Amino acid sequence: MLPGLLRDSLSKDWNIRAGAAYALRRAGASAISALVRLTSDDNDRVRENASDSLGKICPITAVKPLADALVGQDAIAREGAAEALTKMLMNCSCEKLDAFESRLDEAAALSGAKENAHARAVISYLKRDIARIRCRGTSMGGLILTGERPTPPKELGNRQRAKALRR
């Protein structure tokens, strides 16, 4: 299955590449390099499927090549890398969060991201989200990365409940 998907990821037909990018999420770690490459594809659907797949498997080893792509000259590759890193962070388990952050810091230092405005913006956005995830994890008792909001206590009045839900 994997050799066929890897071959399909190199196809000239964007539809086949998009299907391969989607299916490669099941291959796990052995598909990381192909998925990273597909995040810089010319076709939006291929990039989106590759980013989604990387987000599902959240391979920490993909952080460095994606962070390197943030600094490159190719705008499409930068956009795909930023999307993939964001999706990976949102699906990253609590155990991988520290490793994700340290790899991001290492990659930013090595790739010269501090001199690149786009890379600097994406990395600061990701770091802000990492801090938010950590805050949510400590103050909301286990709702990390679920996207759920806690329901305000019923003891609050209607206005206070509405205000709490808007946060």
pLDDT digits (tens, 9 = 90+) for 52-95: 898 888 888 888 888 888 888 888 888 888 888 988 888 887 77
- The pLDDT score that the predictor gives to residue 166 is 55
Q: How many domains does the chain have?
A: 1
Residues of the chain with pLDDT below 50 are 138-156, 161
Q: For the beta carbon of residue 110, count every other beta carbon within 10 angstroms.
A: 12
Specify the CATH number for the domain of residue 125.
1.25.10
d(CA 141, CA 137) in angstroms, rounded, equals: 6
Q: Which residue range(s) make up the domain with 127?
A: 2-166
- The pLDDT score that the predictor gives to residue 152 is 43
And the tokens for 108? 């930013």
- The pLDDT score that the predictor gives to residue 150 is 44
- The pLDDT score that the predictor gives to residue 141 is 38
Contact 5, 27 (CB under 8 A): yes
HSE-up of residue 97 (Cα within 13 Å, Cβ side): 18
Alpha-carbon Rg for the chain in angstroms = 18
d(CA 144, CA 139) in angstroms, rounded, equals: 10
